[in-house]
């Protein structure tokens, strides 16, 4: 059972975007404020101040912070809704790469064999070592398009909007790896020291 919000007797209610505050003078006559965010019954803060100007500044700062938060959440929601309308940028024949590992760097390549509005069917493809890139237990590898070495697997495509304004996508291929689009002639670092 939750206890109800404490509302001081004789307090003045100040409401904002997702926040409510109660301003009052405490038993010692100090200007005080108790703040509740959202639907919480536990206060975000409950402070007393030396002057009413200090309290009023804190109240205004809180109102501004909650307003900025509400605007940020609205913008994120609008962006999410806009991204739902973006078509799947992956098409049949596209290649994806995934780099993962601990104490080593494994690189896996995948090829899209079927695509729908929000999903792709991926098949793992072989990779080859790029001549002249050998190092100590490392090298560069590139994908071998159409050289399949795995069964098709259905994966959901995650679409996001980058800071550059471009649409980016990725596919979660395992519990520890995501795959991103790559070019057929792209090279990626691979190491096997472990």
Judgement on whether residues 77 and 126 belong to the same structural domain of the protein: no
135 and 175 in a single domain? The answer is yes
Q: With the CA atoms of 102, 107, 108 and 110 taken in that order, what torsion angle do they form, in degrees rounded to the nearest 10? A: 130
Average pLDDT, the chain: 91
**What predicted TM-score, i.e. pTM, was given to this entire model?**
0.65
Q: Within a domain: residue 3?
A: no
- pLDDT of res. 81: 86
Query: Of the residues 60, 84, 108, which one is the last residue of a structural domain?
Result: 84
For residue 63, the Cα-to-chain-centroid distance in whole angstroms is 26
CA–CA distance, 75 with 170 (Å, rounded to integer): 22
**Position 169 in a domain:** yes
Q: Which domain holds residue 72?
A: 12-84
For residues 78 and 115, membership in a common domain is answered with no
Same domain for 184 and 99: yes
Residue recorded with tokens 């002639």: 185
Q: Is residue 103 part of a domain?
A: yes
Tell me, yes or no, whether 183 and 112 share the same domain: yes
Residue 6 lies in a domain: no
Q: Are residues 106 and 168 in the same domain?
A: yes
> Does residue 90 form part of some domain?
no
pLDDT by residue (tens digit) across 40-91?
999 999 999 999 999 999 999 999 999 999 999 999 898 888 878 888 889 9
Range with the poorest average pLDDT among 44-48, 132-136, 183-187: 132-136
Number of domains in the chain: 2
């Amino acid at each position: 059972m939750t206890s109800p919000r404490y509302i001081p007797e004789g307090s003045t209610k100040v409401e904002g975007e997702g926040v409510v505050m109660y301003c009052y003078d405490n038993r010692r006559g100090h200007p005080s404020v108790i703040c509740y965010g959202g639907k919480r019954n536990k206060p975000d803060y409950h402070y007393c101040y030396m002057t009413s100007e200090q309290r009023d500044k804190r109240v205004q700062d809180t109102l501004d912070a909650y307003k900025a938060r509400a605007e940020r959440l609205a913008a994120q929601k609008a962006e999410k809704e806009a991204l739902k309308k973006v078509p799947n940028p992956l098409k049949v024949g596209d290649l994806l790469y995934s780099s993962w590992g601990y104490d080593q760097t494994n690189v896996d390549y995948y090829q899209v064999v079927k695509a729908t509005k929000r999903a792709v069917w991926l098949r793992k493809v072989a990779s080859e070592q790029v001549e002249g890139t050998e190092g100590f237990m490392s090298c560069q590898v590139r994908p071998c398009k159409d050289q399949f070495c795995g069964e098709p697997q259905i994966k959901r495509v995650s679409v996001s909007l980058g800071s550059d304004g471009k649409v980016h996508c990725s596919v979660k291929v395992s519990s520890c790896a995501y795959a991103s689009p790559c070019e057929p002639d792209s090279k990626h670092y691979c190491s096997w020291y472990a």
